[in-house]
Structure 1
Amino acid sequence: MSPDARTGAVSLVDWSAAASVAGRLARPGPTAPRADLDLLVSGLREAASRAVRPVEEVTGLVPADPAAPVSDVYVVDRPRWARANTEVMDHMTRGALDDLLDDAQPVTALVGGAQVGATLALLSSRVLGQFDPYSRPDGPGRLLLVAPNVLGVERQLGVDPADFRLWVCLHEQTHALQFASTPWLADHLAGRARDLIGDVARSSKDFSEARVRDKLVTIGRAVLAAVRGEGQALLTGIVDDEQKQRLADLTAVMALLEGHADVAMDAVGPALVPTVAHIRARFEARRDSGGTRADQVLRRLLGMDAKIAQYRDGAAFVREVTQRVGQDGLNAVWTSPDTLPTAREVADPRAWVRRVHG
């Protein structure tokens, strides 16, 4: 087995190897003169700071600890984003896969780390920002803003850079506020993901009979999907009906988080982001186009199409619930694990309103 370099614990996946591979394979992305890059970094930091108060006003959410920042902001390149996500994945799987340790070998852990690292390297060119509430349980979550990707997309779309950077930060700081105002949420989601991954690993006949290396491929993809709120298709064929429903309900909560953030970022309005309508139109067109044929294949392999559907399903849920019971009524969703929507309720928001509000 491979002891984790950060914790010293035995790990099924060599996360240090995953971080190393991800850092090496992640492409650097678009470049600019040094002065422009300095402005990009400072602009993203300023946008992240400016976004917090408007999001609080729009959502009605209040941090549990008003004295603490809702997030620690890091402006990163692609390799650093990829390496940071190995830390997230390590945290999300810790203790969930102990039953598989006996039949694995150190070389298998290295192979698993390489596969996870290569996948993260591919994803690193497609993420504008990410809020990580999982890997630092004793402090504020990390907001990772991927500077070269923000630069590339704002150039591609031909949008106002300052407005676009603030728009991106409004989405990510909404995620930060979701977790800052609901202290139980990160542990709840991580626990559900660990339980599901461990249960699938122990109980699935197809999975239990697979070679260890094949297990690692499946686990790596499943964990990555769980971190990004995807995963339904990746586990098809190795989950039973009960596990499939648990996975669907976990994905539904991630749809809520993403849709809520999408609605908030647009609700701030032209007073703060004057070109918000133009940005949204161009961004949606980019989502729908799918790029080249190779890009479309890669999107499907990485689950990006599922992610796009998730944004839209979650946003539709948030808008209909708000229309029926108002912002305060929607915010009942953050009361406890019991008030989170199920997969059926995300598809039928009226069912959630009936269950929670009577």
Structure 2
Amino acid sequence: MSGIAAKQQTQRPRLGFLGVGWIGRHRMEAIAQSGAAEVAVVVDPSTQALEAAEKSAPGCERAGSFEELLTKPLDGIVIATPSAVHAEQAVAALERGLAVFCQKPLGRDAAEVRRVVDAAKANDRLLGVDLSYRCTHGMRQVKERVRAGELGDVFSLNLVFHNAYGPDKAWFYDPKLSGGGCVMDLGIHLVDLALWVLDFPKVTRVSSHLYSGGKPLTSRETQVEDYAVAQLELATGASVQLACSWKVSAGCDAVIEASFYGTKGGASLRNVNGSFYDFTADLFHGTSRQRLAEPPDAWGGRAAVDWATRLAAGQRFDPECERLVVVADALDRIYRP
């Protein structure tokens, strides 16, 4: 049984952080600074990472392993580990009665994601995934304009995420550990944004081309893709074009764009000067342009803080989690069109 059932509502949830490398520590610091929850326990194989985490959250306790973490009096855990173990760790935590916030991808395929969502539902526990680009001010503005009908019927979407560097951890390039390459790492955000903005219409057809080193991917068992293009056709009649890559000659650090075109207008989120963090958003009508959002916007930890805030308010399983399976299924279809 989780500690949350025995706590008074005035007490903050106690959280464990499984993995406190760069991104795990960033999410930990965002939650700590928000005051929504207490950083109680940290786990990481790197002593350097643990020391940095302890500087950010004085008084937190170290645990030597995931198994030890599960024995602590906690209300939830934040997972920032290699993709291959996300589903297993999330299910184990949920079955112990802990809420879970996990780095993307929640699983390497739709079957793994389904297992986690089912465990969250069966144990009535709050589940969150760090699909963080939803939380940019610009993307929220775009969604609001689409929902308000300012674009009319959206019929074309164009989303791009090119990373001129690529990941620096070896496991990203091992298909058994990562589940895939740039589609799993970057394309997941593009698919999620496209479906989220349009309130998750059914994906009726998928076509794709995946490349490794400039040549068509020949084996998903031994290779991961570093360039991919895909087209998703939606039940609304809309067409979604996606492109993502690692280590492409982009002329800058990153090219990130999510554009939506409708019968009355368009809207677009774009990164600024190759930045991974700074975005503008604009609304288009003919040749006119209206700025909706621009930097600065400290959005990186918002998804984690939102989850921690909801946990503190006593929220449990959210049926919206079912849509995590929809995104995972679309990725499966990109890999196996």
Using the size of structure 1 for normalisation, the TM-score is 0.25
Give 1 or 2: higher helix fraction: 1
Give 1 or 2: higher strand fraction: 2
Using the size of structure 2 for normalisation, the TM-score is 0.26
